[in-house]
Amino acid sequence: MIAVLICQIVLSIVLAAVFLIRPSVTHAVGWKIVAFIGLCVLPALCIVGGMNTHIQRSEQTRFCISCHVMIPYGQSLYVDDPSHIPAQHFQNHRVPAAAACYACHADYTIYGPLKDKMQGLKRIYMQYVSTPPDPATIRIAGGFKNAQCLHCHLGARSFEENAVHAALLDSLKSEQTSCLTSGCHDTAHDIANLSHLKLWRPAP
């Protein structure tokens, strides 16, 4: 996909270079059309393609943990303990392993990816301009919403046939009872104790 986009960009550069070297060619009608394509249509498509590629790339697990403060969060996905919810989801492919962070931390609304991208820019600012936070102290603003869990689990047989889930379903949907902090699934990324935890090593 990136290769196709780069080919398109190179073609745009070649066309733009023609008008940089010899702008007078645009006096001919045919070249006016080529100029419109080379200096307007193709570059605009390159912006759209680039934005799409960058947004898709930012959904990848390896992109998220390429930020220094996120490295321990990436390591916590390998904790060898099924009570650790992110590790359990990642290791058993309950979420796509290549997009594990995004699967649980995305805002699944119409402007969700853009909203997440704006949050990401704020974190880049913290990383490079202000003081990066201690990884163990990072908390999600407003807490982790049940909607992120219910996005996948709602309607799943194993989830809805569970007696506890069935009894609490309305309360979970209305966010009155939290999946994570109500005492049921309270171990997420245990960064503070990561050095003491046994990590799973996948077979090469």
Return the beta strands (E) in the chain as ranges: none
Which of 13, 152 has the CB closer to other proteins? Answer: 13
In eight-state DSSP terms, residue 154 is: T
Which of 33, 52, 54, 140 binds other proteins (CB under 8 A)? It is 54
* Angstrom distance (rounded) from CA 34 to CA 90: 49
Which of 60, 187 has the CB closer to other proteins? Answer: 60
Residue 2 near other proteins by CB under 8 A: yes
Nearest by Cα to 79 from 88, 70, 69, 67: 88
Angle formed by the axes of helices 29-36 and 2-21, nearest 10°: 140
- Tracing tokens 């999946």 back to the chain, one arrives at 179
In eight-state DSSP terms, residue 39 is: I
Which of 34, 37, 43, 168 binds other proteins (CB under 8 A)? It is 43
Which of 33, 71, 114, 121 binds other proteins (CB under 8 A)? It is 121
Nearest by Cα to 103 from 137, 194, 113: 113
Residue 187 near other proteins by CB under 8 A: no
Angle at 72 between CA 187 and CA 108, to 5 degrees: 65
Shortest Å, Cβ 148 to other proteins: 22
Shortest Å, Cβ 70 to other proteins: 9
Where does this chain bind other proteins (CB under 8 A)? 2, 5-6, 9-10, 12-13, 16-17, 19-20, 23-24, 26-27, 35, 39-40, 43-44, 46-47, 50-51, 53-54, 57-58, 62-63, 66-67, 117, 120-121, 124, 127-128
